[in-house]
Amino acid sequence: MTSERSTTGKTRRVGGVLAAALCALALTACGTEGAREAAAGAAMAATPTASPTPTAARPDPMDDPGLTVEEHRDALAFMRLVTEVAAPCEGSSKGLPAGSPSMQPPPRPGDSGVPVPVEDLPPLGDTSWNFERVRQEVELGDTEKCAALRHGSRIAKALDGSGDPTAAHVEKALAEIGYNLPYRLHGPEEAGGRVRFTLDLRGGELCLDGAYDGTRTTFDPYGVHPAVYCTDVKRRG
């Protein structure tokens, strides 16, 4: 009798130990699987998503049928501003403002200073779409170079020494002098103690990169094909 009880007790203890061991193995497996899943998720999150290459010309926001009356009004006001600023430049260099601001490239993060080779734009008769070709920088004419100086002068007058280099401050200052259309103003963004922004001033091909450091504003004008955004362009250097 005693032997049977002893054997039964041993069997129960062995069974309990085996059960505990199986549970421990299961938990370890689950933990390992969870760690693998977490690692896989982290790897996926760390992998950047490539921006798709446009398969057609960028749409003009003015062609959006959903624009409200107010948005149409704001767009027309912006185009009036662009036209008025450029008007004194037409066919003459007399429109250059006195004390023109510094038109030099603001420092760009990761810029090696090595010029980027550029292809010629397709001829006007070539209607095939090639994003890599139409995103090349376009040479500005004299009128638009003059207009760039005039826009820069207006912005520098509003910004220089006006306050700390914060995105909110720059956006407010630009809005007060008429540069307040969301699809015409890219940024402003704070980086390296400066606020950087890009203005789409195209009635023709003019775009303008700007940077404000709390004291002074610098500008870099360049030409952009109408089928792409200012931020799409591949700069020459």
For the chain, how many structural domains are there in total?
1
Domain-located, residue 40: no
Domain-located, residue 176: yes
pLDDT tens digit sequence for 82-139: 999 999 998 755 555 555 556 655 555 445 444 444 445 455 445 578 999 999 999 9
Domain-located, residue 166: yes
Alpha helices in the chain, H assignment, sequence order: 2-46, 69-86, 131-134, 142-159, 167-176
Domain-located, residue 201: yes
Domain-located, residue 93: yes
pLDDT of residue 126: 52
Domain containing residue 209: 68-106+130-232
Domain-located, residue 44: no
Low-confidence residues in the chain, pLDDT < 50: 1-32, 34-35, 37-50, 109-110, 112-119, 121, 124-125
Inter-residue contact 92 to 150 (CB < 8 Å) = no
For residue 148, the 8-state DSSP code is: H
Domain-located, residue 198: yes
User: 3-state DSSP call for residue 222?
Assistant: strand
Peptide bond into 182 cis (omega under 30): no
pLDDT of residue 39: 46
Domain-located, residue 205: yes
pLDDT of residue 42: 45
pLDDT of residue 105: 55
